Amino acid sequence: MISKICGNGILRVVAMIVLYGTVVNGQNARDVVKGNLIQFNDNGAWCWYQDERAVVDKARGRLIVGSDASDNGVGGSPRNGDIDAVIFDLQNRQAERYALMEGGTNFGGCDDHHAPAFLVMPDGRYLAFYAGHNSNNNSYWRFFYTDRWGIEHAFNWNNIPGGTDFRTTYSNLFYLAAEDKLYNIARTYARSPNLMVSTDSGQNWSYGGLLTEPDVSIGYVNGYFKYWSSGVDRIDFVATEHHPRDYNTSIYHGYMKNGQSFKSDGTLLDSDITDKTAPKPADFTLVFGANTRVNGDLMSRCWAIDLAAYDDGTIATIFKARVNDDPNHPSNDPDHAFFYARYDGATWTSTYLGKAGKKMYSSEQDYVGLGALHPNDPEVIFISTPFDPRDDAALGVREILKGVTADHGATWTWTPITQKSVRDNFRPIVPSWDENNTALLWWRGTYLSAQNFDAAVVGIIECNSETVERMHYVDATAANTFLTNGSPLITTGPDANMGAADDRWHERTGFGNGNSVLTSAEVSGENAPVLKTQMIVSEAGTYDVWINFWANPTADWRIKAGLAADRMQLFRQMACKQVEADDHDTALTLTSSGNTFLYQAYLGRVRVAANETLNVYVDDHAIQTGTSGTRIGNTARTWYDGVSYAKVNTAVVSVAEHKKISNEFVLRQNSPNPFKPSTTITYSLPKAAHVTVKVYNLLGREVATLTDQQTPAGTHQVIWNAQSAPSGIYFYKISVGNFSKTKKMILLQ
């Protein structure tokens, strides 16, 4: 049972269940993922009070993902504290990693609070902001220019009027088109959120004011804030009064617009946010109060997790609360629960989602796996939990589950994204994209503290316009696998024994598909040569490509591979998924003795002509995790077992094919956005009506009429060809009787 909290009481509702499971050759599989698991960074994690940690550049087809690296992960101490930006090409599905600040130079090493925030600028550049975890008084930023990040700049908060009394943490980066201003929100003066503002596209920054101030400083800091903005005219936020370990916190909502701050219903609280006086967090609209009872259980010490506002005016948030923890004598290891809350324009209504589990490590009583709202679909959420929300069954580790509601959040249908994982899956995020495309990202591994973890950034990308055929398997043999210079591969073996530590590949029989695998580092550390497996693809088209390797889920087996010799990634079992029955067009051997399973790592996407040769490069990497060069065998071995590829089919898919037409008038975000020189605007009508869609510039002048006619019910599209218009920000507006809606778009000529 789950409970829905209403303004006047609690309504019991039943959670719907979707079953999803898998069996491999009669044995329970491990590390099952629903979708194509992609590794974005082999060493990384993030906190959750910096946004946006990932953004989609729809104009160029890129996904930008930020994280912080640990010396306990891949690469060891040389990567400790690297603040990384990964730019992932959505066409070839390959990643390029950049270090914004190597080794956390100014911050003293690794801390997931150092993860950067990103913004795709109106002119197409990428802006990254990052700060230490109470390390100094600075916020740092860089711009990305075509193929490189520019020089690092710093804003010293001690130079604001009156200076600051607390070191800086977090970056939250937004652009408001109506003001043509950039905002970065950081925790600094008064241990509270402060604003820095730029009116010249980020070249210069000035102090923008104090968003909230405390009634009294209690414990560590004065409030935790999650932010959201559509990029048009306001920034929404949800907040607590203090840190939940120091205070019995509630959740509040407000927003800032035109230099002022407001409650949810538009009540003005601060007429000038540019100074150092401000409302208190508790002055804003109460979303969920501490000491609320749900189904007889006492909820206390809440913490905000995610926030989003939608086209229909709905605002939603996910938060967590302690369960049955004495507010006056709090536990050091309390139970937690997830909640979802939705604002309909008049009232906040909250729904219990399920158990969130215990703390993630000893010194942080309120750290849980967190969750994410889908920013383009108000009916979808994701959570990371060690308990199945369908029946409260213990899952052993934190798994990612997808929730879908058909009744505005009152009930949820749950489907596992990850299942039977060996490592935890933490802190999912979903960057804003569009209704037909979703990127779900999280990090997976072992989390000892914010300063010490062994994790990889992974995720899945779903595109409604794509269908991927079943995979075709190609075994790696002496006939198709060579050294990179074309020389024949001469292995030791073949035999059923482990290969000697001789820096050569060994053909071990009795395992794998084709009854053998190519192995390295089975006994001790080796450095075998790079291999190239070649295959002829008979049919022209676009193909996804994977490398197959065997692994023991309790060890750290791995493989290094890529579609080019200089673009290989290290893939460890913990960041990969097991191959499942029916994935391929022929049956494969998926399990073997010694608790070994066939795993798969995604290499990317290629376009090939008919009968073209496809090359895949493969290497071992017997370097102990957490070191930069210590060789180790056995637990870090490589068992290579061939390549898989699958054809990707793309079709133009209408909104109506993937989502029911709304029973209301709906105006959707244009696509692509930013765009050059044309873009498509989609809208839906529940009934026939006279429709006008017009385009305006920043001054409010009409520049184009895209339609002005009677239109039947259904989903429709209009195209604006802006070839003769200058670059800049434009607004498009639909008018249907008494209904009107306006959205922003960006033209890049």
CA distances (Å), origin 642, targets 108, 478, 552, 669: 43, 12, 17, 43
Asked if pLDDT for residue 436 goes beyond 70, the answer is yes
Name the region of 445 (left: φ>0; alpha: ψ -120 to 50; beta: rest). Answer: left
CA quadruple 40, 44, 48, 54: dihedral, nearest 10: -30
pLDDT in tens, 76-131: 999 999 999 999 999 999 999 999 999 878 898 999 999 999 999 988 899 999 99
% of the chain residues with pLDDT over 70: 95
CB atoms inside a 10 Å sphere around CB 438: 23
**Model confidence band, residue 313 (pLDDT cutoffs 50, 70, 90):** confident
The pLDDT of residue 668 is: 85
Lowest-confidence region among 6-10, 98-102, 165-169: 6-10
SS3 label, residue 324: coil
Asked if pLDDT for residue 13 goes beyond 60, the answer is no
Angle at 328 between CA 325 and CA 331, to 5 degrees: 40
Asked if pLDDT for residue 216 goes beyond 60, the answer is yes
Identify which of 409, 404, 448, 405 has the alpha carbon closest to the alpha carbon of residue 426.
Answer: 448
State the Cα–Cα distance between residues 122 and 110, nearest whole angstrom: 32
- Which residues touch 571 (CB under 8 Å, ≥6 apart)? 39, 42, 547, 549, 558, 559, 560, 561, 601
Asked if pLDDT for residue 655 goes beyond 50, the answer is no
State the Cα–Cα distance between residues 66 and 51, nearest whole angstrom: 10
SS3 assignment for 159-226: HCCCCCCCCCECCEEEEECCCCEEEEEEECHHHCEEEEEECCCCCCCEEEEECCCCCCCCCCCCCCEE
The pair of three-digit structure tokens given for residue 175, joined into one six-digit string: 């652009």
Identify which of 18, 82, 128 has the alpha carbon closest to the alpha carbon of residue 419.
Answer: 18
SS3 label, residue 293: strand
596-608 and 638-650 beta bridge pairing: unpaired
Asked if pLDDT for residue 612 goes beyond 60, the answer is yes
The answer to whether 240 and 302 have CB atoms below 8 angstroms apart is yes
Asked if pLDDT for residue 6 goes beyond 80, the answer is no
State the Cα–Cα distance between residues 664 and 411, nearest whole angstrom: 22
pLDDT in tens, 398-426: 999 999 999 999 999 999 999 999 999 99
**Model confidence band, residue 632 (pLDDT cutoffs 50, 70, 90):** very high
Mean pLDDT of the chain: 92
The answer to whether 559 and 620 have CB atoms below 8 angstroms apart is yes
**Model confidence band, residue 219 (pLDDT cutoffs 50, 70, 90):** confident
In 324-412, where do the E strands start and end? Answer: 335-343, 348-357, 371-373, 380-387, 394-404
Q: Any idea which residue has 């056995």 for tokens?
A: 634
In the chain, the domains with their CATH numbers are: 2-464 (2.130.10), 472-650 (2.60.120.260), 661-747 (2.60.40.1930)
State the Cα–Cα distance between residues 127 and 139, nearest whole angstrom: 13
pLDDT in tens, 121-159: 988 899 999 999 999 999 999 999 988 999 999 999 999
The pLDDT of residue 367 is: 97
The pLDDT of residue 202 is: 96
When comparing pLDDT for 502 and 59, which is higher?
502
The pair of three-digit structure tokens given for residue 351, joined into one six-digit string: 């729904």
The pair of three-digit structure tokens given for residue 589, joined into one six-digit string: 């051997």
Asked if pLDDT for residue 449 goes beyond 80, the answer is yes
State the Cα–Cα distance between residues 633 and 519, nearest whole angstrom: 11
Identity of the residue numbered 46: W
pLDDT in tens, 223-282: 999 999 988 899 999 999 999 999 999 999 999 999 999 999 999 999 999 999 999 999
The pair of three-digit structure tokens given for residue 724, joined into one six-digit string: 């003769």
State the Cα–Cα distance between residues 511 and 505, nearest whole angstrom: 15
